[in-house]
């Protein structure tokens, strides 16, 4: 682990738009502090490019606190880089060594078309959520917090599923570009709670249908999605989604 400033070579994917052919471009970044985050290092590179009159590298970012899921970069062959349970904005340059060459690419998936450089269009996730990620609620005052008793094990599991930040790392690491971990997490966070029961099985059908319509691939059963998920979303959610989906096939339309 480096404690001194580093000089690095970056091989960054540059692509004008989804219809253009992209390629890796080499950049030298000098005097990089090991305490910088990966995105801060990119800020330094972009400032240098702007000073030289060159076009800066486009990449997604927002909160820089590991909760928004925007910082989607494939770093040396892994989503979000070499560390486990961290997003790109939480990855620090001390994870690399002086003289390293770092390859940075966008997510690779048919359903995530490249917008420009490292930025991809992940609105397919929004459409999956819109297809069923809602519950029936009554207008008026909210109920008291203890009005609906929920076993702690269920509430914990729902919160763990809700921790998904929709970054797309599961899609990026899956050889079939499957979105089943993401979709199942969004289904599970509602299916595990009483408020999510009225639409439970219809939700599974609708969200899975939208996932397929977006062009995501099938689950590979390799577990790569769970291994690379920065929030540690469990494969158990996929099993739950599959059970709900198949249950919906054996009940009447009225029950679904």
Q: What is the pLDDT of residues 31-41, one digit of tens each?
A: 999 999 999 99
Q: What is the pLDDT of residues 91-107, one digit of tens each?
A: 999 999 999 999 999 99
**255: pLDDT strictly greater than 60:** no
How far is 97 from 82, CA to CA, in rounded Å?
13
pLDDT at 234: 97
Averaged pLDDT, 216-239: 96
Which region, left, alpha or beta, applies to residue 80 given φ > 0 means left and ψ of -120 to 50 means alpha? Answer: left
Please give the sequence-ordered ranges of beta strands (E in DSSP) within the chain, or none if there are none. 6-14, 23-32, 74-75, 78-79, 101-105, 114-116, 119-120
Dihedral angle computed from the Cα positions of residues 98, 71, 225 and 234, in that order, rounded to the nearest 10 degrees: 110
Are 87 and 65 in contact by the 8 Å Cβ rule? The answer is no
Number of H helices, E strands in the chain: 8, 7
Averaged pLDDT, 168-183: 97
pLDDT at 51: 97
Using 50, 70 and 90 to split pLDDT, how confident is the model at 252?
Answer: low
Q: In what order do the strands lie in the sheet with 101-105?
A: 23-32, 6-14, 101-105, 74-75, 78-79
């Amino acid at each position: 682990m480096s404690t001194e400033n580093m000089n690095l070579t970056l091989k960054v994917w540059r692509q004008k738009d989804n219809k253009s052919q992209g390629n890796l471009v080499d950049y030298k970044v000098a005097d990089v502090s090991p305490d910088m985050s990966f995105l801060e290092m990119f800020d330094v590179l972009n400032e240098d490019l702007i000073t030289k009159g060159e076009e800066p590298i486009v990449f997604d970012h927002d909160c820089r606190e590991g909760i928004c899921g925007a910082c989607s970069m494939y770093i040396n062959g892994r989503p979000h880089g070499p560390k486990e349970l961290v997003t790109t904005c939480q990855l620090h340059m001390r994870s690399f060594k002086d003289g390293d060459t770092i390859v940075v690419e966008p997510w690779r998936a048919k359903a995530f078309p490249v917008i420009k450089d490292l930025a991809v269009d992940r609105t397919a996730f929004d459409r999956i959520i819109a297809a069923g990620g809602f519950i029936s609620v009554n207008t008026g005052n909210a109920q008291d917090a203890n009005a609906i008793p929920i076993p702690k094990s269920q509430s914990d599991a729902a919160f763990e599923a809700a921790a998904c930040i929709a970054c797309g790392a599961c899609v990026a690491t899956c050889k079939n570009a499957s979105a089943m971990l993401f979709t199942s997490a969004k289904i599970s966070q509602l299916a595990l709670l009483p408020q999510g029961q009225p639409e439970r099985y219809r939700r599974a059908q609708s969200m899975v249908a939208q996932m397929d319509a977006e062009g995501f691939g099938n689950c590979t059963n390799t577990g790569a999605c769970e291994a690379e998920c920065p929030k540690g979303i469990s494969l158990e959610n996929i099993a739950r989604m599959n059970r709900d989906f198949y249950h919906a096939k054996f009940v009447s339309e009225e029950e679904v």
